Structure formats: structure tokens, C-alpha cells
A = this chain, B = another copy of it.
Amino acid sequence: MTPRLPEALSFTAFAPFGDVIEVREGVRHYPINGGTTERYHELTAIDPGRDGRGIVSIFRGQPRPLPLRLEVMERHPLASQAFVPLSGHPYLVVVAPAGEAPTPGALRIFLARPDQGVNYAPGVWHHPLLALEATSDFLVIDRTGPGDNCDEVALPHPIVVDIARER
């Protein structure tokens, strides 16, 4: 199977799935604290859903070997879930639109830089964490509360992903 290569992660390309958390052109920003700090304001909002509470955890992900086989996708129907890398390594973001279980053709595969976080909108299908290069910590902002907030589905056939390497 020919591996699929990721796209670069960008705010615009990711917009159907949620927000990219990064300092970028066009973000509203303004000085605070007597000019010693610049606030890049509201890069995303936390949606803990009805009866949910936003919580902060750290996910420590083992690096995945490449090429990589994707076999499952998951979604959190009740709430958003944000990942922000803390360890200075890139990672893969694999998503499909909210709604019916994703087909392999519906998957979008993004390569995120170490200075880019993502916030999945409620119900957006995504692959579990895909750290690259080294064991990597991610700050995760998601939800606790009543109800079942995780669905997982198997893809009808695996997708192989690789990253273009310098030759």
C-alpha cells in the first residue's frame, strides 16, 4: 500500500475540525502587564459540554515508528479536547468530520509543528495521540462529568502514513 503523506497543519486547513493553538498572523493580540507581556487572545475555547467540567491532564506519548498503520479512530461527542505539545517534537494529527463513522477516504492527515496545539471540536473523529521522534508530553484540556464521552471505531481497512524524508 502506498503510504499517505501528511499535510502541514494550518489554522485554515484544520478549521472544519477545530482550532490550531499557536501564535500566528491575524490573531488578536495586545500588550498587558505594563507592556512586558503580549496576550494572543482566545486561540480556542474550551467546550466541556452540558454538565461537564474542563480539566487539565498531561499525556505522555511514546513515539510511533514510521511508516505507521492507522486502524482506529475515536471521538468525544460531548466536549472539546485540546492537545498542546510540551516536549518540542512534531506529531501527527489525523481527523475526519463529525458524523458517521469515518471512511479511509475522509481522513485528513496533518503534521503538527512542536509549537502548534490543536483543539478538536466535540464529535470530530480523530486518531489517538501520535507522538513522533521521542517520548513527548502534551497538555490536554478535556472534560470530566456524567455520560459516555468516548466512541471508538475500527477503520474498514488500515491506512499507512509516512513522512517525506530528505534524500
Contacts and interface: CB of A to CB of B under 8 A. Distances in A.
B86 A33 contact: no
A115 interface: yes
Interface in A44-62: 44-46, 48, 53-62
A42 B56 CA distance: 5
Interface string A132-149: 000001011100100000
Contact of A139 (B21, B45, B48, B128): B21
A156 to B, nearest CB: 19
A151 interface: no
Contacts of A33: 61, 128-129
In the complex this chain forms, how many copies of it are found? Answer: 2
A38 interface: yes
19 contacts: A23-B60, A32-B128, A33-B129, A34-B128, A37-B60, A37-B61, A37-B62, A38-B60, A39-B58, A39-B59, A40-B59, A40-B60, A42-B56, A44-B55, A45-B54, A48-B54, A54-B141, A86-B115, A88-B88
Top 9 closest pairs, chain A to chain B, by CB: A46-B54, A33-B128, A40-B58, A38-B60, A42-B55, A37-B61, A54-B54, A44-B56, A36-B62
